[in-house]
Structure formats: structure tokens, C-alpha cells
Amino acid sequence: MASPAPALRAARIGEYDVVCSLAVGGMAEVLLARASGPAGFERLVVIKRILPHLASERAFREMFLDEARVVARIRHPNVVPVHKLGEDDGSLYLVMDYIHGETLSSVIRRLSRDDAVMPPALAAYVIAEAAAGLHAAHELTRPDGSPAELVHRDIAPANLLVGFNGSIQLLDFGIALSRDRITKTEAGLLKGRYAYMAPEQSRGEPLDRRADVFSLGVVLFELSTGRRLFHRANPILSMKAVSEAQVPDPRSVVDGYPRALSAVVLRALARDREDRFATAAEMRDALIAAQRAIAPAMVGDVALAALMRERLPERLAEKDHFLTAVREGDVTAATVPRAEVDEDVEPATVALATEEEVAPARSRRRGWIALSLLPLAAAAAAGAYVFLGASWSPGTSAEPVEAEPVEAGPVEAEPVEAGPVEAEPALHQLTLRSDPPGATVDVAGLDEVLTTPAILDLPESSEPVRIRYSLDGHAPTERLVVIRGDREVDVRLEPQATAPDEAVEEASGPPSARRRRRRRVAPSSATGAPAGTGGGDTRSFEMW
């Protein structure tokens, strides 16, 4: 269901007259305002203001100031500029340019609604422009000239603006990570959109710019195939897909997908950050080269503006009408555009499988990815898009793939002996996290040591399951958990002044043992009476 139109606001912030509210988030509200001057001068701006009830909270003020310090120093055509940081009636606010356009997520949803896919050369252009802005942010330096080591951490279609003039701009550095932040992110605290996170980000590990490169690769996959990659029914499943699902070659998803663009996608989405593009600039260069291989004539902002006018004509008319009303001072609730378009449209998700799900021995198990397999061939055929006289259809390509002949022959089926089928016990999802992350977890009845954060399936139990957390330099901690429905267990590990005992060191194990893999624990081995505590251990017990 589409969201209602933003509300009107009669207010003034500094020298700006507020026209209406565009959006409200957890920490700030986004307002459309107008700056007026002599001789009829007028300019529309967007004001991001900390919410009134949080204005006096030190933590939120410092987070807001962190964002201001970051974005105010970035000057690039592909980054929404911030012109001013101010304070009005105790509330901090940022003043930014108003962009006459839509978020990339709106564009993707509209294409999905029309069973269309953005032409590959144009998709390469969009992400190349985004990469240029991202690289400028990554190259930000501190006043002394040292690298700020900025990581955006929230690259997603919702944070890329597509102007009706064909411009591409990156926004929202509210959770960006840099050396200049006043507020420090707690160890293991995840920030960002789960379906676009890099694997190391979902694990709570230290990040560098290559995490943003991965996220931009996810956006490229979605934009150029019309399929979401890691989107799942809930954040836990999205994180599972990011960490373990096998990323398919886009050419296996869309017929006729250009080989050159596929190579860029797969390199950006390498699970090991060492195998990705080292910088966003390097990814941009590869995208430009792929674009030239796909379309000899350069595709740029003119082509993108034409697509915006063709695919979103009523949205363009709606916003033009609104801007006219703003200039004439006749804004009503009916003229304020909705925040997004086609909010009821959910782009399809590509079918992925984890290593465990493709194993023959686990073919009957409940899958992590609760999706209906869509007929990709039909969806690809429906995605044909004619653009500026040149037809792009996922079924046509300058690089035909010749199938090898297969000799047909009779297939003799082996006889199957009928017998009773034993129903598998219902499994429940158990999510284990620790602060700090990276602790080894020993679950009673599980023959493998896990590392937090970890997700596993366990059968329902009437007796508590013993879970032991260990981390060098911290006191070991145990929990007793009764498995009845999906559970989440968060444990804070307290620093230990003395060296951990041998039992803890043994539980830590070699790095090869620290794998986040789902295991089923047999009911008979998952439960049992708690074992006695060892001498010298400092343990805390809690029944969940």
C-alpha cells in the first residue's frame, strides 16, 4: 500500500520557510524548505533536522554532528552537497540541495512493475556515476592531510538519487564510519541495510572501502537483472544469504546478459574482499570499459533522462505541478507528492542456494530461502525494453552462446522400494550473538565450534540446551536455552584480568574451526543436565 502524502508544516527554521515534511526517520526528519531573497530570488532546499524529542540527547547530537562533519567536506557532482549546519531552537539541522528526481529504488520498482529491465549499458553508466561519488567520499582526508578512512556502510538503491535530468547523486552518510567520528560504534553492532551488506559487515568485522564496493555490486546486480540478490523475509535470513549463498553469474539469470558487465558484477561481489576491486574508482573504470563494449555510442545522462521521462511520466508531472504550487505559494496537502512510488511493488528475488542446501544429503531439509522459484525464462522475455530506437531484450545479445549437442537416449529408472516416511522434527532458528563478536560457541550436542554471530537450526526441546561462549581475555559465559520457537541470544562478555584457562583456549580452537554453518542437532544430544563448573572458571548462568 502506498504511503500517504507527507504533511504540511507551517514553520520557519533559520532563514528558511518550511513548505512540508518529506519523511521522518528514527533520528531526524526531512523537510522541504524555501530560501527567499531580493528581486524575487528563491531556492528550494532540503533540511534534515534532528527530531525535537532527541534534540537534547547528547548521543544523538553527536551522531548528527558526525554526519555533518563528513558530508560538509565532500565536494563532488555525484554526492548531494550540504551547504550549512545550523541550530534552531536547540535542534541541529543540515541544509542540502533539493534534487528533482527519484530514488533508484523507485526506478527499480517501476521497471519491475512494467516487467522491464534497465538496458545494460545504461545500468553500467548509473553505477559508474555512483562509484565516482563513492570514491570521492572514500578519498576524504582530515585537516592534517591524513586519510579519514570513510566507509559509507549504507550503499543501497534508497540512498542513490536519480534526477529527471539524468544526474546520479549519493546521499545519507548518517551511519558512515570514519576516524573523525565522535560517537564510536559498539563492537558487533550492525548498521545498514542487511540485504546490501558485505559479508564482513554482517559479521561485525572491521571495515574498509571494499565493503562499500560489495554493496554497490549488489545494487548493480539488482539494477541490471531486475532481481534482488540477498533480500529475504527477515534480516537474519538476509545476513545468512550474504554470508553463505552462492552468487550466480548474471548470465544465468538473464539471457543475453553482457559478458563484460557480468565480470564486473562478480568481481565486486567476491566474498573475500581481497578479490574485489580495491577502490570504487577501479570499479568505475571497469564499468566504463564494459559500457563501451556493450554500446559503441556513449550512453549517459541524456539517455537516463529519457528513460525517467518515459517510465515515470505521471511522477514527473506530479512533481512539476508541486514545484509550481510552491513558487505560487499555493501548496495544499493534495499537491505534496508521496515519498516514493510503487511501494506495493516487490521486485522478484533471484533463487539462491547455500552450500548446505545444494548438498544431496540435505535435499529434504527445510531451506533457508523461503521463496517461490520464478520461471526465469518467462520473466526475462517479459523484460524486453526498447530504448532510443535500440532494442534491449534479455533474450538478445551480441555474444551468442552455442549450446553443446546432447545425445538423447533412454533413461532407465532404478526401482524404489516403498516404505514408511519418517517425518523430520520441526526445526527452530537459534541466533547467537556476543559483544564483542568473534567468540567461540560450544553448543551441547553440536560437534563443531561456531563463531559469533552464528545461526543454526535446532529441534524443539523440553530440556535446556547448554551454550558456552569463550573469547580470549574475557570470562567464559554459559546460557541454558529451551528451544521453543525461534530464539535470539545476545551475551555480553566481561573482560578478564587473568589469562583464560586451558579449557577456554581449547574451546577457542584454530581459525579453521570457526565457521558459521548451520547444523542440526539430534534431539537426544541437544539436551541434558548441565555439567558441573570447572575449577577456576568464572561463569554466569541464565535460563532463557
> Residues 134, 170: contact at Cβ < 8 Å?
yes
Rounded CA gap, 453 and 534, in Å? 26
Task: For residue 240, give the C-alpha cell.
Answer: 545468512
Q: How many CB atoms lie within 10 A of CB 8?
A: 15
The DSSP element (H or E) to which 95 belongs, if any, is strand 91-97
Considering 154, 172, 442, 457, which one is annotated as catalytic? 154
> Residues 14, 83: contact at Cβ < 8 Å?
no
Rounded CA gap, 531 and 488, in Å? 23
Rounded CA gap, 205 and 437, in Å? 8
Rounded CA gap, 517 and 182, in Å? 36
Q: How many CB atoms lie within 10 A of CB 423?
A: 6
Q: How many CB atoms lie within 10 A of CB 442?
A: 19
SS3 32: strand
Q: Is 435 a catalytic residue?
A: no
Per residue in 272-293, is it b (16+ CB within 10 Å) or e — as a string?
ebeebbebbbbbbebbbebbeb
> Residues 539, 478: contact at Cβ < 8 Å?
yes
Beta bridge partners of 391: 386
Q: How many CB atoms lie within 10 A of CB 408?
A: 6
Largest Cα–Cα distance in the chain?
91
Phi, psi of 470 (to 5 degrees): -140, 140
Catalytic residues, by residue number, are 154
